Amino acid sequence: MPVAARLEEKIEIPEDVTVSMDGDKIIASGPNGKNVKILTKSKIDIEIGDDEVTLSVDSPTKREKGLLGSYTSHIQNIIKGAQENFEYKLKILYSHFPVKVRAEGNRLVIENFVGEEEPREAELLGDTEAQVEGDEITLKGPNKEDVAQTAANIEATTEIKDLDKRVFQDGIYIVEKAGKPIV
């Protein structure tokens, strides 16, 4: 009879960050604020020590192996977000009509997109902040998922539906994700 395998992942906790659990919530607090992620555990055990988080599962199925990797990434992201902001950059492109973009509270307003009279709007999720400089938009925030989803929402807001996409290539496009340029 083969011995049941135990899979384990360890995540180091930096000195300036504290990690705690409240039910299914994992909370990371640091110099950049507090980050919370809800992880429904299934069979994965999560133990928080003084200097590391240990995730483990006994006799993992293929699904549980995948969940272990996902949970590890989520916890690493909330720890990193408690230390520093995630940053996405978007580029405003237009050839026919000059586009005006401005951040207003928790939304981004896009005016004169392909000559439309009504402005288009995209919501800034969570604690995400937008900064518009010339033809570049910078999104910053402690939660990677909120910043990434905000960038995707802005890109989707400027999708052209009724015009020939070969001619009208105007839009706002993601050019850098969390410090990594998109090629």
| CATH number, position 61 | 3.90.930.12
Q: Which of 60, 83, 106 is the last residue of a domain?
A: 83
Q: Which pTM value belongs to this model?
A: 0.85
Residues 109 and 162 in one domain: yes
Q: Are 46 and 127 in the same domain?
A: no
Strand partners, 29: 18, 34
Query: Each residue of 37-52: pLDDT tens digit?
Result: 999 867 899 999 989 9
Domain range for 13 is 6-83
How many other CB atoms are found less than 10 A from the CB of residue 136? Answer: 15
User: Please, are residues 164 and 152 in contact by the beta-carbon 8 Å criterion?
Assistant: no
CA dist list (Å): 11 to 48, 49, 61, 90: 10, 10, 22, 31
Average pLDDT in the 49-67 region?
91
20 lies in the same domain as 70: yes
pLDDT over threshold 80, residue 167: no
Mean pLDDT computed over every residue of the chain: 90
Higher pLDDT among residues 178 and 110, named by residue: 110
At residue 97, the pLDDT reads: 86
More confident residue, 116 or 1: 116
Residues 110 and 172 in one domain: yes
Assess if residue 46 is contained within a domain.
Answer: yes
pLDDT reported for residue 175:
94
115 & 153 share domain = yes
* Same domain assignment for residues 71 and 102: no
Q: Which of 174, 17, 16, 177 is nearest to 86 (CA)?
A: 177
Backbone angles phi, psi at 104, to 5 degrees: -130, 100
pLDDT in tens, 96-118: 789 999 999 899 999 998 888 99
Query: Which is higher by pLDDT, 142 or 164?
Result: 142
73 and 129 inside one domain: no
Q: What is the pLDDT of residues 121-152, one digit of tens each?
A: 999 999 999 999 999 999 999 999 999 999 99
| Of 31, 63, 83, the domain-final residue | 83
Q: Give the pLDDT score at 132.
A: 95
Q: Are residues 22 and 70 in the same domain?
A: yes
Q: In the structure encoding, which two tokens stand for residue 113, read together? A: 């997109």
For residue 172, give both structure tokens: 């706002």
Answer whether residue 1 is part of any domain.
no
Higher confidence at residue 148 or residue 161? 148
Single out the residue in 67, 83, 99 at which a domain terminates.
83
Q: Report whether pLDDT(1) > 60.
A: no
93 and 76 share one domain: no
